[in-house]
Structure 1
Amino acid sequence: MTQHAVLDSLKHRHLRVRTDRAATLGDAVMACLVMPAEFRRAQAHYPIVFQRDLKSGRLSALALFGFENGENLFLGENGWDAAWIPLAHAVQPFLIGRTTDPAATPQVHIDLASSRVSEAEGERLFDDMGNPAAFLEEVAQSLGDLDGAYRASGAFYEALERHDLVESFMFEVPQADGSRQSLAGFLTINEERLRTLPADVLGELHAAGHLLPIFMAVASVGRFAELVARKSSRAHG
């Protein structure tokens, strides 16, 4: 259950938000959305895969943390074992709220039902005078960055579709008992198609800023081996 509310300095002056990482705080997740603008940083830690919405058919990208629902192989007793977390997950329990007026300034919302929200632990959102704390100002900046990256992502996915650059794939995950678990339902960059693109198309993708995130998504495939090693380590740990 969620309970979204517009953040208010009077109603929520005494609220705090926990920033540590734990399963009880909502971090036990297999994946989260990652924006093309984040691919350079994401590929240093996580495999990047694509998925297609069953209703709209639209593409989006995910950073994988595990191979099954609720499995985060980066989460341990000492928190999150990676130097960077995608913005879509890092900003929780905050989100951007919009009105029906497209010209209106977006508002910062908070999920009051989140286990991160507390009055006793964590970072304060407002000072005693009701002014935004430094933590909240950082959150607002991150939300703005995420919103901008999301809005810019449409052109990237449109280019992938236009040039037929994604394909389905299946990854076999070795299990402790010697069996294999199939990771399916996701898409990845079609490397053969990418290699055969004409020079003018490559130039067009580069000029639009799409070529770098494409290459970063390709590079991230190498992170599957590390993810398998993390799973194996836990199985034998």
Structure 2
Amino acid sequence: MSAHAILTAEAHRDLRVRTEHGEALGDAVMCCIVVPDEFRKVQEEYPILFRLNAERDSFTALAMFGFQDGENLFLAGDRWDARMRPLAMEIQPFLIGATPNGATKQIHVDLASPRLGDGVRLFDEDGQPTPYLEHVAEQLGALDAGYQGAHDFFAALRRHELLEPLMVDVTTEDGSSNRLVGFHAIDEDRLAGLDAGALAELNDEGHLLPIFMAVASLGKIGALVERKNRRLRNG
């Protein structure tokens, strides 16, 4: 269970964060949320799929790390085997919150996170943010801006009916089957059929690039299958 608190030098002067990777630190996850602003970098390593939250009638984008709950095929002991990690993984155990009127953004920390312990300091002896905390604040700002822009992105996808249900069946070398269900992907036929006006509109709104990046990322599903096979071969 999480325990969020506003991060302050007075209350958290001696707090330290473990920045290494590992299952015990919360890295054993099948996927994480990504925002359109980071699709260009994310697609170089991970498939990007979309999932509908039926209760909110809204979509989120996800970087896929595995084929079943708790499976992260990029996690090898204490090493994350990729050139980048999505922002939602990088900023843990922090998150951004707002004052009741929404005017001011604040850094919150999950005091129940296993990442708190011996590690990098957040504040120096004078109570000033360390370079590490300053970098986290920049990442949180980028993620928050991405969340704000994502609303218009998903509205555009729905307006042009560019998302279709996707089911991926994967058979690994040992004969076992894995199935990804409950996800969506960009409808490439629908995208190809858009007229010049619709494409220009998407481009002018800044949505066309992340759409193409999401399409390109589907080529990484094969690489994810190979990671699964390699893990099976190596026991």
What TM-score range do you get, normalising by the shorter chain? over 0.9
Unaligned runs of 5+ in 1: none
SS of residue in 2 equivalent to 1:115: coil
What corresponds to 2:153 in structure 1? 156
Give the CA RMSD over aligned residues.
0.9
Alignment of 1:1-237 (within 5 A): 1-103=1-103, 105-118=104-117, 121-237=118-234
Partner Cα distance (1:146, 1:7) in 2: 18
Q: Deviations over 1:131-169 (max 9, x none)?
A: 111111111111111101110111110000000000001
Q: TM-score, normalised by structure 1?
A: 0.97
Partner Cα distance (1:115, 1:189) in 2: 36
Partner Cα distance (1:209, 1:180) in 2: 38
SS of residue in 1 equivalent to 2:9: coil
User: Would you say the 8 A contact 2:23–2:77 is kept in 1?
Assistant: no
Displacement after TM superposition at 1:176 (Å): 4.2
Partner Cα distance (2:156, 2:97) in 1: 28
SS of residue in 2 equivalent to 1:148: helix
Unaligned runs of 5+ in 2: none
SS of residue in 1 equivalent to 2:11: coil
Partner Cα distance (1:11, 1:180) in 2: 50
Q: Deviations over 1:111-131 (max 9, x none)?
A: 01101011xx21100001111
Residue identity over aligned pairs, in percent, reads: 51
User: Would you say the 8 A contact 2:5–2:111 is kept in 1?
Assistant: yes
Runs (4 or more) in structure 1 with deviation over 6 Å come to none
Displacement after TM superposition at 1:78 (Å): 4.5
SS of residue in 2 equivalent to 1:10: helix
SS of residue in 2 equivalent to 1:170: strand
User: Would you say the 8 A contact 2:157–2:163 is kept in 1?
Assistant: yes
Aligned amino acid, residue 120 of structure 2: E
Partner Cα distance (2:199, 2:42) in 1: 23
Partner Cα distance (1:36, 1:28) in 2: 23
Aligned amino acid, residue 227 of structure 1: L
Q: Deviations over 1:179-233 (max 9, x none)?
A: 3221110000000000000111001101111000000000000000000000000
Partner Cα distance (2:81, 2:178) in 1: 24
Partner Cα distance (1:177, 1:129) in 2: 57
Q: TM-score, normalised by structure 2?
A: 0.97
Partner Cα distance (2:66, 2:146) in 1: 24
